[in-house]
Structure 1
């Protein structure tokens, strides 16, 4: 996630590349400008070739393309925002469970309290690694017993397996008489919310925008940008490469930005800062345990927080 200072000077907004879509699309934009230069040269040296086709195709395609891009980027942003909302809910639920673990069971030793709270922290890390397709062993080993880590790694869904282990540990407290059934129901409601968060993240991660729609949009963007020089050369002349550069930057940029935020769990600059969120969970739950040697919040690197 791109992090910039609250005040955004004009120099920052015009020239910064941190979090910009320019590194992704600059080759395409330069290619279209080079084509525009070639079209302008042909038009001025061979003026009767009929290479200029007028602005009508540009107007008709531009309207359709703007509607396509607007709809697609709205859908992509909705996916990004829902993912952020789910992780915000996860933070709240884990704080609630940690507080209930420390205050509701009767006579629960401090080491067992810490064990259960550490499992909650491990759950956030397991979910992050599953969504990003990365190896969770190192993070899980920091918070779980070796036997629990060994039991979770073979699972196809480690967060769900860990959720089952967490639920069983609270049910065991009820069987031992250290947790009232009404209080267990309150804890189970929080566990159910964790399951809903997991399911929501799996839905976003496993259900992309239909490929046929994306393919149609990509092809339309390329066709529109390829037609730009032929439509503009008769009107703006030598300024055609500049106008093509501006317009192709806009349309290629919107297209590429939609691709990035469509999958909000990756490690691209405009994706969610899951590492930082997991660190926030570690700090919050560690503070509830009364620990003083807490890690510092993650800081942006080159303006990007992962």
Structure 2
């Protein structure tokens, strides 16, 4: 995830880190070159590139921008829901940390809280498609076994054990919500329709403005292509909030946050470094 202060007005034009321009510059350049070819052919080859009324192109552009905005909104909702689910995981881990104070100083509490650290780490790996030898479910199962043992021994009352079990259930529900997002993308047909329409529109756009704009048409077409292709590329990144792309969620940082909280509660002094952005990127 990109973490940086907003650049100055001039600096906005030179920011590359986190920008989609690195993914779309070839497409934008291609539209610009097509625009140059269209203007040249219109002026030098009679009848090859006829002049057209730009009004239909303007109307199609408005409609396409609205549909792209809807898709971006849907993809951002996925990204934001994933962020809320991870926020719930971190909050619930801290809840368990406080709820387990009755076990302070016992090896069972250490085992319980460290299982939450394992859960956060393994959840991040699973969601990024890099599962470890043991799954996040195994970490929760270990925590459940600890609680069941303590309840059987009478060291936790039924109410105390129930509260802790409910907290573990919330963490499991948060992970299931993340897995739902990871395994259920935006319908492909919807994505394909907008993607294909944007490319066709930007490719023929210079023809619609060759009469009214002349040699300015390639520049206008490239600017429109930058906006449409950029929105399309950004939606692809937001659609997959757990990927390793620059605008994805920093799952490793979230897991480290959980580890710091749990180990500090256990009295450990050798704690991991707090997550920091490196070159404006928090991973």
Q: TM-score, normalised by structure 1?
A: 0.89
**Structure 2 residue aligned with 1:126, among 117, 122, 125?**
122
Structure 2: gaps of 5 or more residues: none
Shift of 1:62: 1.0
User: Does 1:24 pair with 2:20?
Assistant: no
What's 1:242 paired with?
Answer: 219
1:267-294 alpha-carbon deviations (Å, 9 max, x no partner): 1011101111111111111111122211
Report how many residues are paired: 283
**Correspondence list, 1:224-303, <5 A:** 224-303=201-280
1:192-250 alpha-carbon deviations (Å, 9 max, x no partner): 10111011001101100111111111111011101111011111101111111110000
What's 2:4 paired with?
Answer: 4
What's 1:85 paired with?
Answer: 84
- Equivalent pair of 2:38/2:210 in contact (CA under 8 Å): yes
**Correspondence list, 1:168-183, <5 A:** 168-183=145-160
CA distance in 2 between counterparts of 1:50 and 1:116 reads: 72
Shift of 1:109: 4.8
CA distance in 2 between counterparts of 1:294 and 1:282 reads: 8
1:21-52 alpha-carbon deviations (Å, 9 max, x no partner): 00010010001101011011111212443432
What's 1:149 paired with?
Answer: none
CA distance in 1 between counterparts of 2:26 and 2:137 reads: 43
The CA RMSD measured in Å over matched residues stands at: 1.5
Structure 1: gaps of 5 or more residues: 138-151, 153-157
Q: TM-score, normalised by structure 2?
A: 0.96
